[in-house]
Amino acid sequence: MSIPRFYNADLELVRQGYHVVLAPGNVYGHPSGNATIDAAYDLLTTEYGFSKKCNLASMSRETLALARWAYTHSERVDSLYIDNGVCSLKSWPGGKSVPGSDSIASGNYTLWGQVKDTFGWTSDAEALAKQEAESLIGMLAPMAAADISILMVCGDSDPAVPYEENDAIVEERYKALGGSIEVIVEKKGHSHGMKAPAPVIEFIKQNTSAGKELGAIWFIGDSITQSVADGDPTGSPRKSLYDLLMADGFDFSYTGHFTANVDGLPTTGGKPADNLYHYHSGVSGIRIGEAGGASGFAKNLVTYWNSGRLAEEKPDTILIMLGTNDVATPVGATDRLRSLVEDIYSLPDVGNPAIYLASIPPNRRNASDTAYVAAFNAEVPGIVAEFQAEGKDVHFVDQFTALDDAYASCMRRDNLHPNATGNEIIAQTWFDAISAPVYVTVTE
């Protein structure tokens, strides 16, 4: 459930494809509060394949927590939206309640005592001398250097967090550091959220760069990826994904060992290095590895690796949906899949690509085939978890469920191959996995 005062923006962001994450931090901005936000970030980026850069949002005292995290991990942040946020500990909870302070804020001396205890300060004088370095107003330099954009929404008559002691100082200092900042001052006190959140939505969209550079994408698959039996001569999962990525402003290309089934993808050059979108490694009829006398993808892996565009452009993102044809040799199919991923990581010059390992589409040709798919798919998340435990950038993608739910409209009469609608579903699922932006809010 979203923070009620933010829900207008939250819901619209979700509708536009963002993931809204509530992460608890230390409300006084102590470094110890980073641990819980770090845990959420690590879980989302490693286990679920979320973008490694996010947009942050905070209100009131929670601003101290997100400011600390953005200061510590500025390379992970695209933007910071602050709603009537505490930018100075001297202003809140200190205020004029603290002896020797020149603050005009109302203050809360009891909470000021908690701040001193949290940071280990033994006197008001020590706390006043050291508080700025632990506040947003003292943490701006690395954020500006990392090109983090800031949007602030505040009230012109806020007794708890006065504009003059918080937003105005941040704006002046951030601009002096060369940072990008916009401040919206509304006629209100210490209330939160905008009834019409369009400025917030537009700000976050304009400043979401995370995941926009996907590099070279390598499709590994069978006839479904090659799209030789979908009844769609100008379409494929690759073409539909191309359309989605282009529409959302991503920077990417495709790589692979051959160009079978262009499927309406644009021609950008005659040489492999210049032909950005035709190449892939979706091979009709292929199995994962050697089994039952049949040749598999693994046997050809090194040859593919040194052929076509793949010889010149190694992948940054690898999309694997393979295993449908192993129904003929089901024993050990997932072991072969695990071995294939290991073999990919052992290739020369492979680097550290993000690998997305998918469950396979439904197969209703007969009860035995249906059972094979269920058993195969049940094991794929475990394989992904094994690689993640080794620190590998591997993620599970559920390609089965959406196709199975829309089976009547998205599968061909052979009960094996998706049709044009199925191609779009596969592409959308890939897109959701590799493009997911993150919007993080902090709660106490």
Q: Domain of 46: which CATH number?
A: 3.40.50.1820
Strands, E assignment, 30-113: 54-59, 77-83
Whether 356 contacts 433, CB under 8 Å: yes
Average pLDDT over the chain, rounded to an integer: 91
Q: Which domain holds residue 139?
A: 4-88+135-210
Nearest in space to 352 (alpha carbons), one of 392, 299, 292: 392
Average pLDDT on 76-103 reads: 94
Question: Could you tell me if 166 and 285 lie in one domain?
Answer: no
How large is the C-alpha radius of gyration of the chain? 26
Nearest in space to 84 (alpha carbons), one of 138, 175, 160: 160
Residue 191's pLDDT is 79
The tokens for 203 are 């700000």
Look at residue 112 and tell me if it is in a domain. no
Residue 393's pLDDT is 87
Whether 427 contacts 232, CB under 8 Å: no
Q: Encode burial over 369-395: b for 16+ CB neighbours within 10 A, e otherwise.
A: beebbeebbebbeebbeebeeeebbbb
The tokens for 138 are 């003292």
pLDDT per position as a tens digit, 285-334: 999 987 666 679 999 999 999 999 999 999 999 999 999 999 988 999 99
CATH value at residue 278: 3.40.50.1110
The tokens for 113 are 């005592």
- CA–CA–CA angle 302, 306, 309 (5° rounding): 130
Tabulate helix, strand, coil % of the chain (nearest 5).
45, 15, 40
* Cis-peptide, bond into residue 93, ω within 30° of zero: yes
**What burial class does residue 12 get, using C-beta atoms within 10 Å of its C-beta: 0-12 exposed, 13-18 middle, 19+ buried?**
middle
Residue 1's pLDDT is 34
Nearest in space to 442 (alpha carbons), one of 8, 12, 20: 20
Q: Token match 């435990």: residue?
A: 389
Look at residue 176 and tell me if it is in a domain. yes
For residue 149, pLDDT beyond 80: yes
Picking from 41-45, 105-109, 359-363, which range would have the lowest pLDDT averaged per residue?
Answer: 41-45
Question: Could you tell me if 281 and 336 lie in one domain?
Answer: yes
Question: Could you tell me if 316 and 401 lie in one domain?
Answer: yes
Residue 6's pLDDT is 57
Question: Could you tell me if 181 and 243 lie in one domain?
Answer: no
How many CB atoms sit inside 10 A of residue 156's CB? 12
End position of a domain, from candidates 210, 235, 269: 210
For residue 50, pLDDT beyond 60: yes
Please tell me the total count of domains within the chain: 2
The tokens for 177 are 């550091």
Q: Which residues contact 444 (CB under 8 A, 6 or more apart)?
A: 24, 27, 61, 62
The tokens for 154 are 């505040």
CA distance 386 to 197: 42
Most confident listed range (33-47, 96-110, 178-192): 96-110
Under DSSP, the state recorded for 27 is T
Angular region, 264: left φ>0, alpha ψ -120 to 50, beta rest? left
End position of a domain, from candidates 184, 210, 236: 210
pLDDT per position as a tens digit, 389-434: 898 889 999 999 999 999 999 999 999 999 999 999 999 999 988 8
Question: Could you tell me if 282 and 186 lie in one domain?
Answer: no
pLDDT per position as a tens digit, 197-240: 889 888 988 888 755 778 899 999 999 999 998 988 889 999 99
Task: Give me the sign of the Cα torsion angle 206, 210, 211, 214.
Answer: positive
Question: Could you tell me if 73 and 84 lie in one domain?
Answer: yes
Residue 189's pLDDT is 77
Residue 2's pLDDT is 44
The tokens for 106 are 């109302």
Nearest in space to 66 (alpha carbons), one of 25, 103, 36, 104: 25
**What burial class does residue 58 get, using C-beta atoms within 10 Å of its C-beta: 0-12 exposed, 13-18 middle, 19+ buried?**
buried
Q: How confident is the model at residue 441 (pLDDT cuts 50, 70, 90)?
A: low
Choose between 257 and 198: higher pLDDT: 257
Residue 9's pLDDT is 81
Nearest in space to 337 (alpha carbons), one of 391, 379, 375: 379
Residue 366's pLDDT is 95
Start-to-end C-alpha separation, the chain:
14
Question: Could you tell me if 25 and 171 lie in one domain?
Answer: yes
Look at residue 237 and tell me if it is in a domain. yes
